[in-house]
Structure 1
Amino acid sequence: MVDKFLGTWKLISSENFDFEYFVLHCAGVGFTTRQVGNHIKPSLIINMDDQGMIFVKSQSTFKTMEMKFKLNDTFEETTVGNTV
């Protein structure tokens, strides 16, 4: 099932970002980061290795974030607001 998601995905547009913008503010994401986030269109790159480890990279001109995990295993993710 994961195979269907592997590859590179490019954000084309955002709808209802005003609500997301509010949620980011409540989550403690700073003003500048929210402003930039409203205008960038990141790529999402999803890969998987032979042991079933999934790698997800969100890449933009502003910031690149990466995480890795195995399905059904608990993991911690640091959000754009630097919270775990």
Structure 2
Amino acid sequence: MDPFVGNWRLVDTQNYDNYMRELGVDFATRQVGNVTKPNTIIKLDGDNVILQTKSTYRNTEIIFQLDKPFNEHTSDNRDCKTVISLEGEKLVQIQKWDGKQTTLTREIKDDKLILTLVLNDVVSVRSYERESK
């Protein structure tokens, strides 16, 4: 988990509008989501992982333990059963709701945090750079 710990600033987004549309996010919210540049903060507190997303639009926080399912209320108002696992060098988050499933995979490549979001055949990639301390 240590490579993921830190403050990360969004620097690039690909196909995020289509991903949000596939989730069922309304037009107005997608417009805000397309221009918002959130920071992701990942911390460790004992066995707990704290994952925060902060932006001028909305802040979210989930606290979880690896491989233990939990209930997650997402920023787009979905109530999911979520599990997050460390699979090799990747942090894999699976959200399930209403018979649907999306996978969010975080990995470190070239000193960047790469978040790949997959729902059905829609793939979005968001890249983050580590904030200097």
TM above 0.5, one fold? yes
Map 1:1-84; keep pairs closer than 5 Å: 2-15=1-14, 17=15, 20-50=16-46, 52-84=47-79
Q: Does the 8 A contact of 1:47 with 1:55 survive in 2?
A: yes
Q: Deviations over 1:43-65 (max 9, x none)?
A: 00001112x10100000001101
Mapped partners of 2:21, 2:65: distance in 1 = 30
Structure 1 segments unaligned to the other structure (5+ residues): none
Mapped partners of 1:22, 1:80: distance in 2 = 17
Kindly report the root-mean-square deviation, in angstroms, between the aligned alpha carbons of the 2 structures: 1.3
Mapped partners of 1:41, 1:74: distance in 2 = 28
Q: Does the 8 A contact of 1:29 with 1:80 survive in 2?
A: no
SS of equivalent to 1:61:
coil
Q: Aligned-pair distance for 1:13? A: 1.4
Superposition misfits of 4+ residues, deviation over 6 angstroms: none
Considering fraction of residues, name the structure with more helix: 1
TM-score, length basis structure 2: 0.55
Considering fraction of residues, name the structure with more strand: 2
Mapped partners of 2:34, 2:40: distance in 1 = 16
Q: Aligned-pair distance for 1:21? A: 1.5
Q: Quick one: percent identity of the two aligned structures?
A: 35
Q: Does the 8 A contact of 1:8 with 1:44 survive in 2?
A: yes
